[in-house]
Amino acid sequence: MYFEGDPYHKTDPFLQSASNPEALIVKLSPPAPEEPDFMVAEFNMVFRG
């Protein structure tokens, strides 16, 4: 799993070879005020069969 803002994205061979690398990167959102130490990540999984 890849997280938004990671400096190693530029050198990751798998991510660089992906046809749509942005689809593999998890977006981070600010936490709720009552849980300031949490990190919130949102991602969608698509399965094709």
What residues does 26 pair with on adjacent strands? 3
Is 6 among the domain residues? yes
- Per the structure, the count of domains in the chain is 1
Confidence of residue 1 (pLDDT cuts 50, 70, 90): confident
Provide the residue range defining the domain that includes 10: 2-42
pLDDT at 43 over 90: no
Confidence of residue 38 (pLDDT cuts 50, 70, 90): very high
Is 25 among the domain residues? yes
Query: Which stretch, 6-15, 19-28, 33-42, has highest mean pLDDT?
Result: 6-15
The CB-based long-range contact list for 13-20 (8 Å cut-off, 24+ gap) reads: none
pLDDT at 14 over 90: yes
The CB-based long-range contact list for 22-26 (8 Å cut-off, 24+ gap) reads: 26/1, 26/2
Confidence of residue 16 (pLDDT cuts 50, 70, 90): very high
Arithmetic mean of pLDDT over the chain? 91
Is 49 among the domain residues? no
